């Protein structure tokens, strides 16, 4: 796309899709150009300066942090305090966030600061936007946050790199932040009182990750519906299970939407073909009831995520207009924790549904005449070919891990930091868990999609096979180039990985 419309980070409400567009570099991030915006941002920092002149007591500015809030910091040490905050929090471990996730984190932090109640200079907000514009990405370890006081440790890497310290990813290379600042002709920021706290004491990591998780779950819902339709054809199931009148009797909107998608996919001219069973097994018959829970939950999850995204979620809040400093707990990530713990449960059930469908496909006792393990081998070599046997074992392993992962992180609050942070959200762990659950569920979806594709191909070879409805025929045509039928056994890892890449790129247009 040439010159895409920018995502404006100002007073406007950002949607999950806006963060996703910035994270995937489909749209640039911009600040409003009007002078009033710049003035509003600057007013908070100016108000803090007047308080310092009057020797006002402000948490994290003239006091220590956390439990050390009772420790007074003399004015001659106030300027040094921000660097100490991001320095002692430089203890993150685990894998580094992927570039897409890091951009989402930067976008979430930028939106919080643009409320103008964090007490930071306009220059800091502008530099954060320039990090996105130049794709200068702090290298952020993903582990070390308990989700209150916000994402302190991971966000310390944002504060440090804005100050020219630690390492960044720039133009595909891992480099020192100081070196990249020199290359761009920038002076590293010297963070002023409250600015390190404003960058770090918030929910940007969990919220950025939640935006990515939501988008992946939304697409996976539609893909799981399409896979279920393919499996209905492969297993010669009963399309009347999705009758519109049936779902009018139990009118959950998301459940009805999944049933409508299935009706659209399974549209067959003429009478329903002879049925093997009056009632299909639950993994087919109840697909709308399983997937519909996710469909019906997406609105609530969006509300939680977008409210957090569009909030000022640091502490204290600087109300320059009324000349007040409001000490509170907006760094607490409870809503994101609940949303992501819920998403783990929903995604685990989706994976389990697809795994059960795959188990039916490969088993001659239940697949209504398809070859064992969906092997396409001719009779003379059928006894040495095993088709999708190992793929089904793998899918079972991935499903089990996704189900194990449904244990909510938010119930594992730990008292930390000298019992100052004695009730914490674990929202960042929940968000990371949700992304892992999605990764596993996408692997199950890839396995089941390739098996469903094989099952439909086998069914279509049979004498008198009915033509596929147009949506499924179009899907099969898209799959054909990359995923040929399995006749003789072959290692399918490469094709599974390619299918995963297609899923994560949302390559297949599914439902309007």
The DSSP H or E segment spanning 351 is helix 334-362
Mean pLDDT in order along the chain per 10 residues (512 residues): 87 97 98 96 91 71 65 76 92 98 98 96 98 98 94 97 98 98 98 92 97 98 98 96 96 98 83 78 98 98 98 93 91 96 98 98 96 95 96 98 96 85 92 98 98 97 90 96 96 98 96 88
Q: How far apart, in whole angstroms, are the C-alpha atoms of residue 479 and residue 85?
A: 52
68 contact partners, CB below 8 Å, separation of at least 6:
none
Sort residue 3 into left (φ over 0), alpha (ψ -120 to 50) or beta: left
Measured in degrees and rounded to the nearest 5, phi and psi for residue 91 equal -130, 25
- pLDDT for the residue 51: 81
**By the 8 A CB rule, do 254 and 296 touch?**
yes
Instruction: Please say whether the dihedral angle defined by the alpha carbons of residues 257, 261, 263 and 264, taken in this order, is positive or negative.
Output: positive
pLDDT of residue 15: 98
Task: Write down all domains in the chain, each with its CATH number in brackets.
Answer: 7-202 (1.10.275.10), 210-504 (1.20.200.10)
Question: What per-residue confidence (pLDDT) applies to 65?
Answer: 63
pLDDT of residue 427: 96
pLDDT of residue 244: 95
pLDDT for res 444: 98
214 part of the active site: no
pLDDT of res. 268 = 60
From 59, 65, 86, 366, the catalytic residue: 59
Cα–Cα distance measured from residue 452 to residue 376, given in angstroms and rounded to the nearest whole number: 13
Integer angstrom CA distances of residue 281 from 236, 238, 241, 428 = 12, 10, 11, 38
């Amino acid at each position: 796309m040439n010159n895409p419309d920018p995502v404006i980070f100002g007073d406007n409400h950002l949607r999950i899709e806006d963060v996703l567009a910035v994270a995937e570099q489909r749209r640039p991030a911009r600040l409003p150009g009007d002078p009033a915006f710049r003035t509003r941002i600057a007013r908070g920092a100016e108000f803090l300066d007047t308080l310092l002149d009057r020797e006002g007591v402000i948490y994290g500015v003239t006091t220590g942090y956390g439990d050390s809030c009772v420790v007074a910091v003399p004015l001659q040490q106030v300027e040094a305090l921000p660097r100490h905050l991001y320095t002692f929090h430089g203890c993150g471990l685990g894998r580094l966030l992927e570039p897409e996730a890091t951009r989402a984190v930067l976008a979430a932090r930028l939106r919080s600061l643009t409320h103008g109640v964090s007490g930071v200079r306009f220059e800091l907000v502008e530099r954060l936007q320039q990090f996105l514009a130049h794709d200068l990405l702090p290298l952020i370890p993903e582990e070390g946050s308990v989700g209150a006081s916000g994402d302190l440790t991971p966000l310390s890497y944002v504060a440090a790199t804005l100050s020219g310290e630690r390492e960044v990813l720039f133009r595909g290379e891992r480099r020192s932040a100081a070196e990249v600042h020199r290359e761009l002709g920038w002076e590293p920021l010297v963070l002023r009182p409250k600015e390190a706290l404003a960058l770090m004491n918030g929910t940007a990591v969990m919220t950025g990750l939640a935006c990515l998780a939501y988008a992946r779950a939304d697409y996976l819902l539609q893909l799981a519906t399409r896979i279920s339709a393919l499996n209905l054809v492969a297993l010669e199931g009963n399309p009347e299970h999705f009758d519109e009148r049936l779902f009018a009797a139990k009118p959950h909107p998301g459940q009805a939407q999944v049933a409508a998608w299935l009706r659209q996919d399974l549209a067959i001219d003429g009478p329903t073909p002879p049925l093997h069973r009056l009632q299909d097994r639950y993994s087919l018959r109840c697909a709308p009831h399983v997937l519909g829970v996710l469909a019906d939950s997406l609105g609530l999850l969006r509300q939680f995520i977008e409210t957090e995204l569009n909030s000022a979620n640091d502490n204290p809040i600087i109300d320059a207009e009324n000349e007040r400093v409001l000490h509170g707990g907006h760094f607490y990530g409870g809503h994101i924790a609940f949303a992501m713990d819920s998403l783990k449960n929903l995604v685990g059930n989706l994976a389990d549904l697809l795994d059960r469908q795959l188990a039916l496909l490969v088993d001659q006792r239940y697949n209504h005449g398809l070859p064992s393990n969906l092997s396409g081998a001719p009779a003379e070599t059928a006894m040495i070919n095993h088709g999708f046997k190992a793929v089904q074992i793998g899918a079972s392993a991935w499903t089990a891990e996704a189900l194990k992962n449904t244990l909510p992180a938010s119930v594992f609050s730990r008292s930390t930091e000298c019992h100052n942070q004695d009730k914490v959200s674990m929202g960042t762990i929940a968000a990371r868990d949700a992304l892992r659950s999605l990764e596993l569920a996408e692997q199950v979806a890839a396995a089941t999609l390739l098996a469903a594709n094989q099952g439909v191909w086998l069914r279509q070879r049979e004498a008198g096979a009915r033509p596929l409805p147009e949506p499924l025929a179009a899907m099969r045509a898209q799959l054909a180039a990359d995923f040929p039928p399995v006749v003789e056994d072959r290692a399918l890892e490469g094709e599974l990985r390619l299918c995963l890449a297609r899923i994560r790129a949302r390559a297949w247009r599914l439902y309007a």
